[in-house]
Amino acid sequence: MLKGSIVALVTPFTKYGNIDYSELEYLVDRHCEAGTDAIVAVGTTGESTTLSHEEHIDVVGAMVELSKGRIRVIGGNGSNSTSEAVQLTEKMMHLGVDGFLNVTPYYNKPSMAGLLAHYQACAEASDKPQILYNVPGRTALDMTPDMVEQLAAIDNIIGIKEATGDISRVAELKRRCGDDFILLSGDDPTAREFMLAGGHGVISVTANVAPAQIKALVDLATQGDREQAELIDSKLDALHQVLFVESNPIPVKWALALMGWCSANYRLPLTPPEAQNQEKIEAVLAELDLLNSQES
């Protein structure tokens, strides 16, 4: 099942702006070693908005190949154009992905009828499981529990990444969609409480930097061990916060560069963090003993 500790993986670039497949292989290996349950390939954290469709498909395919069956791979297939989302789905379904993460159409703010039609078209493009992605802070559209209930009736829509940080939605979504509908937090600072309330895991930015710690947190929280989950998460709180001191994935990619895991190369309009934020990120990593951790 597509649940547990899932990393929203960065996409590494060379200094010339090309995909760095060598660094990508290193990152995949680190997550396999750390016990991460699945990788989201080319989502928001993977800078999907600056990749061409060809690059998008190539990176997802590379992650499947590099994983060698050791870890599940979920392909990002969202777009604000239904035809583009369908094309991405059709082209990726043969790569060996285990499922898809499909963000709500952004900017154009469709009606409920439009949203249903959009997801129905994407679901029909592949028999692979699809996870809804609700992140109103980026899309200007909040997929309410009522909307999710209607979309959950589509056979291969199996869950949702809920990034509002609203813990009360866990109980409501369970009531509306049933216990088998997978609920994944998309908000690292509130993920612990989301899982303790009955969520099935997290799609995490922090897991890029601290994969073993997030895996341990997810296992404890989904088992209902509040005391031990709080103990781990309290140590990660400053990391959760600093990785969003600027727009994701600017801080997390900078953090990975400080750790020696990948280069701090971005595609415009994303740029490196401001100087004061670079210092904040480095200070938190130092406090957690994560600097220069390439061989840890």
Catalytic residues: 133, 161
Please state, in angstroms and rounded to a whole number, the distance separating the CA atoms of residues 278 and 205: 17
Quote the crossing angle between the two packed helices 188-196 and 211-222, to the nearest 10°.
30
Please state, in angstroms and rounded to a whole number, the distance separating the CA atoms of residues 218 and 216: 6
Chain position carrying tokens 């990788």: 39
Annotated ligand binding at 45? The verdict is yes
Enter the DSSP assignment of 49.
G
Cα 158 off chain centre by = 16
- Angstrom CA distances, 133 to 69, 199, 222, stand at 25, 15, 20
Q: With beta carbons less than 8 A apart as the criterion, state whether 12 and 50 touch.
A: no
- Angstrom CA distances, 7 to 84, 104, 213, 272, 295, stand at 24, 19, 12, 21, 20
Please state, in angstroms and rounded to a whole number, the distance separating the CA atoms of residues 70 and 38: 9
Please state, in angstroms and rounded to a whole number, the distance separating the CA atoms of residues 64 and 83: 24
Residue 39 token pair? 């990788």
Question: Among candidates 284, 286, 275, which has minimal Cα distance to 243?
Answer: 284
Question: Residue length, the chain?
Answer: 296
Q: Which residues are annotated as a binding site?
A: 45, 203
Q: Which residues are annotated as a binding site for pyruvate?
A: 45, 203
